[in-house]
């Protein structure tokens, strides 16, 4: 049984073969051998671009830079002749006329111009022009094949990255809740903080996959046929990104005050309720990205618990605030620990509820 990765490799090989044959066939009758190979190389480069939108942009960019470089080289050679000083003139013109933000473009134009200059000294100038045209034709062939033959679509990778990120967040929240229930926070707080800090890396990786998934939908012929659906993970990513800061804040507070005496000032009742809310928040984070087609009853149950979690958090916040204000707690100086923990959790739950309200499908 073939794995998904093997299937992608077969598709890429097939598309590369089609693009190479198309580029060769389009140039074989009017280009010299050098230009034909350049056409094939350009086609292979464009057909293996990760998205149709990117391959189109790169093809247009390649055509523009090569045309500009070839024209510049031929103009300077026509005026000054093929000499060492000609290269300096080409570089000077390129650096002066290009803007600050076009450093990559001007370097490509300059390199193309120098290569064209070298070719023009060995063969007639017309051959250099034909070679540049061959590259452009090859790029167009690769872009066309990439767009029409099983165009790449990266929504599955985006979906997986979002689910993995939410799963890591939910697991960490439940671990912190379970640790508080078992009074094991002293031993585990530092490990929780390291896991929370690692969420930044996972958020960055998920962002890359989400952006690539969104880009893969643009100009994709599969979407024109209605096969892309309406999947978008951008809003979920932004929500999880914000939630990651709250989780890190909770983990940091637990690590800073993990000694037994510090948490004893909060009292066992608060710790038990807070542990319960952490576990509930972990379930809710994962419920945000639950597949719409699997276990709808469990998904709906998890979503419906969100408002209750928010209400209970607010209720405990009000109650404990009154107790601290009245001096009822044995150690009122625990207010700063309590306030930090409750503030981060409340913000987390509010973000969850706001995101779930916008993302929930209409009934």
Share of the chain above pLDDT 90, in %: 20
Claim to verify: residue 225 and residue 302 sit in the same structural domain: yes
Claim to verify: residue 196 and residue 119 sit in the same structural domain: no
**Stronger pLDDT, 147 or 266, i.e. the higher one:** 147
pLDDT score recorded for residue 58:
76
Is residue 325 in some structural domain?
Answer: yes
What average pLDDT does this structure show over 24-42? 84
Q: 10 Å Cβ neighbour count for 47?
A: 27
Whether 195 shows a pLDDT value over 90: the answer reads yes
Please state which of the ranges 110-114, 134-138, 178-182, 240-244 shows the lowest mean pLDDT: 110-114
Is residue 1 in some structural domain?
Answer: no
Question: What distance in Å separates the CA atoms of residue 203 and residue 186, rounded to the nearest whole number?
Answer: 27
Is residue 213 in some structural domain?
Answer: yes
pLDDT score recorded for residue 228:
67
The whole-chain average pLDDT of the chain stands at 77
Is residue 285 in some structural domain?
Answer: yes
Among 148, 169, 196, identify where a domain stops.
148
Question: What distance in Å separates the CA atoms of residue 139 and residue 118, rounded to the nearest whole number?
Answer: 22
Phi, psi angles (nearest 5°) of residue 267: 95, 150
Claim to verify: residue 264 and residue 284 sit in the same structural domain: yes
Are 338 and 324 a contacting pair, CB within 8 Å? yes
pLDDT score recorded for residue 301:
62
pLDDT digits (tens, 9 = 90+) for 268-315: 777 888 888 898 888 888 888 865 444 445 555 655 665 666 667 667
CATH number of the domain to which 174 belongs: 1.20.58.220
Claim to verify: residue 144 and residue 159 sit in the same structural domain: no
Q: Give me Rg for the CA atoms of the chain.
A: 30
Whether 175 shows a pLDDT value over 60: the answer reads yes
Claim to verify: residue 230 and residue 164 sit in the same structural domain: yes
The burial class, CB within 10 Å (0-12 / 13-18 / 19+), for 359 is middle
pLDDT digits (tens, 9 = 90+) for 306-345: 566 666 766 776 776 676 666 665 566 677 787 888 889 8
Claim to verify: residue 263 and residue 140 sit in the same structural domain: no
Claim to verify: residue 42 and residue 101 sit in the same structural domain: yes
Is residue 2 in some structural domain?
Answer: no
Claim to verify: residue 69 and residue 195 sit in the same structural domain: no
Claim to verify: residue 139 and residue 224 sit in the same structural domain: no
Claim to verify: residue 40 and residue 186 sit in the same structural domain: no
**Stronger pLDDT, 80 or 242, i.e. the higher one:** 242
Is residue 208 in some structural domain?
Answer: yes
Which two tokens mark 75? 């103009």
Among 148, 172, 207, identify where a domain stops.
148
The number of folded domains in the chain is 2
What average pLDDT does this structure show over 198-220? 91
Q: Which segment, 20-29, 216-225, 284-293, is predicted with the most confidence on average?
A: 20-29
Sole residue written with tokens 């990513």:
237
pLDDT band at 14 (very low <50, low <70, confident <90, very high): very high
pLDDT score recorded for residue 168:
95
pLDDT score recorded for residue 231:
55
Among 108, 126, 148, identify where a domain stops.
148
Claim to verify: residue 170 and residue 107 sit in the same structural domain: no
Give the residue numbers spanning the domain of 286.
155-359
Whether 361 shows a pLDDT value over 50: the answer reads no
pLDDT score recorded for residue 293:
41
Sole residue written with tokens 């060492």:
84
pLDDT digits (tens, 9 = 90+) for 56-110: 887 777 777 777 777 777 777 677 766 656 666 666 666 665 555 455 556 566 6
Claim to verify: residue 90 and residue 196 sit in the same structural domain: no
Is residue 341 in some structural domain?
Answer: yes
**Stronger pLDDT, 151 or 287, i.e. the higher one:** 151
Is residue 14 in some structural domain?
Answer: yes
Q: 10 Å Cβ neighbour count for 131?
A: 23
This prediction has a pTM of: 0.73
What average pLDDT does this structure show over 260-275? 72
């Amino acid at each position: 049984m073939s794995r998904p990765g093997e299937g992608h490799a077969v598709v890429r090989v097939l598309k590369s073969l089609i693009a190479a044959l198309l580029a060769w066939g389009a140039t074989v009758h009017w280009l010299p051998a050098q230009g034909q190979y350049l056409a094939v190389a350009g086609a292979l480069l464009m057909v293996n671009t990760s998205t149709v939108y990117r391959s189109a942009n790169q093809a247009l960019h390649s055509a523009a830079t090569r045309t500009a470089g070839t024209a510049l080289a031929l103009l300077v050679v026509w005026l000054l002749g093929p000499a060492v000083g000609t290269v300096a003139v080409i570089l000077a013109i390129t650096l002066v006329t290009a803007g600050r933000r076009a450093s990559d473009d001007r370097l490509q134009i300059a390199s193309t111009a120098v290569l064209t200059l070298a070719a023009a000294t060995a063969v007639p100038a017309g051959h250099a022009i034909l070679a540049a045209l061959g590259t452009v034709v090859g790029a167009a062939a690769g872009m066309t094949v990439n767009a029409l033959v099983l165009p790449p679509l990266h929504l599955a990778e985006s979906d997986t990255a979002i689910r993995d990120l939410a799963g890591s967040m939910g697991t960490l929240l439940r671990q912190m809740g379970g640790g508080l229930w078992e009074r094991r926070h002293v031993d585990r707080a530092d490990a929780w903080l390291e896991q929370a800090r690692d969420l930044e890396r996972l958020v960055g990786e998920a962002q890359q996959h989400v952006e690539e998934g969104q880009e893969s939908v643009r100009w994709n012929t599969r979407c024109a046929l209605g096969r892309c659906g309406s999947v978008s993970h951008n809003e979920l990513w932004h929500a999880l990104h914000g939630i990651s800061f709250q989780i890190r804040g909770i983990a940091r507070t637990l690590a800073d005050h993990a000694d037994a005496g510090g948490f004893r000032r909060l009292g066992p009742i608060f710790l038990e309720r807070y542990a319960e809310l952490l576990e509930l928040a972990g379930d809710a984070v994962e419920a945000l990205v639950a597949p719409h087609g699997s276990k709808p009853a469990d998904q709906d149950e998890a979503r419906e618990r969100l408002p209750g979690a928010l209400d209970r958090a607010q209720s405990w916040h009000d109650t404990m605030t009154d107790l601290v204000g009245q001096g009822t707690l044995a150690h009122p100086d625990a207010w700063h620990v309590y306030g930090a923990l409750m503030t981060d959790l409340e913000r987390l739950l509010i973000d969850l509820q706001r995101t779930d309200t916008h993302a929930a499908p209409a009934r």
